[in-house]
Amino acid sequence: MTRLLHRRQMLAGLGAGFGAGLAGALLPRGTAHAAARPGAGLVAVTLQDRGVIALVDPVAATVVGEIAVDRKPVGAVPSPDGARLYVSHPELGSITVIDMAVRAISGRIVTGGTPFGLEIAPDGRTLFATDWTRNAVLRFDIAAHLGAAADASVGTGRGLALVGKAPAWLKLDPATGLLFVAAREADRVDVVDAHGFSKIAEIPTGRAPFAVTLDRAARRVLVGNVQSADVTTIDADRLVATGSFAVGAMPYSLAVAPADGLVLVVSQTPGVLQFFERGKPGLAARRTARLGRYPEGMAIVADRAIVANWFDDTVSIIALGDGREIARLKVSGGPRIVTAM
């Protein structure tokens, strides 16, 4: 009961959806290439209460390992080659670097502030992090900052771009080099030029935007608005909002299925995963899958969605084809974020 009360209290403040808007990471890689990647085919689940990363094989539907990290991990993003996994720790002001070949910590980036959502450049050389309390996006040259104090204090200019209040998750469009940042308490998405590293646009959304993902084929950005229970659609090239559609309460995670463009939305309070058609987002969900209590992070690997059920200490594996739950795996320690390796 004490644990449940603590978690509900966290939801009322900054802890609400800590990193949960991690947009579903896709894994559209060839078999030969994937086979050479450390952790290929696995997903990493941050267990916030225990300070652990659980590794799950979604095809075998098993937990295959755990990696101890610093306390209270939140966001996670792999390097493009899968060799490293970067994990944010807002309460510590740092980012842990994991060597996936040996599954152990290999370094730390000291950021200060509260690093939250993470994103990485396609070449793997630059890491971006939202800073919840400094209302900023931080930029790090990985080689320069690994294991050293990062030059990311307010006013440094080159390593910091100011954005709206309480930036949660962010997504990089590799086609344009633009970062789309969900500013939760500003009710907008800010667009940051990753090259010049300055804010170039502000796009109004619904209330309390949190999750953000990119639909590359449709050239649009999708933003989950927690308090208005809807998803805002943004033209990724014109940088304007083009509409919105209603979803279940507290949408904390979004993803786009690579095979058919279905938009997947995790709604936290009803505990469901909704499937919407790309061309018909305003209609009722094509199907709805039941999840555990207070689901949050989600990733897509092949034909499956993997969702962390925070209050149940479980992970659901859902078939994209028919929405059935293939398995529900027991994990312990507050599963929040799911990241495809």
Write out the residue range of the structural domain in which residue 122 sits: 2-340
3-state secondary structure (DSSP) of residue 142:
helix
User: Tell me: the pLDDT tens digits for 127-158?
Assistant: 999 999 999 999 999 877 664 444 443 333 35
pLDDT of residue 219: 96
pLDDT of residue 36: 66
CATH of the domain at 39: 2.130.10.10
- Block residue for tokens 């949660």: 168
pLDDT of residue 23: 39
Give just the sign of the alpha carbon dihedral 161, 166, 168, 170.
negative
Give dist(CA 141, CA 155) in Å, integer.
17
Residue ranges of the chain whose pLDDT lies below 70 = 1-36, 145-158, 280-284
pLDDT of residue 146: 61
Asked if residues 85 and 53 have their Cβ atoms less than 8 Å apart, the reply is: yes
pLDDT of residue 309: 98
pLDDT of residue 15: 41
User: Tell me: the pLDDT tens digits for 106-124?
Assistant: 999 999 999 999 999 999 9
List Cα–Cα distances, 180 to 51, 151, 236, in angstroms: 28, 22, 9
Question: Rounded to two decimals, what is the model's pTM?
Answer: 0.87
pLDDT of residue 7: 42
Count of domains forming the chain = 1
With a CB cutoff of 8 Å and minimum separation 6, the contacts of 305 are 24, 255, 264, 273, 298, 299, 317, 318, 320
The mean predicted confidence, pLDDT, of the chain is 88
3-state secondary structure (DSSP) of residue 6:
helix
pLDDT of residue 150: 42
Asked if residues 2 and 192 have their Cβ atoms less than 8 Å apart, the reply is: no
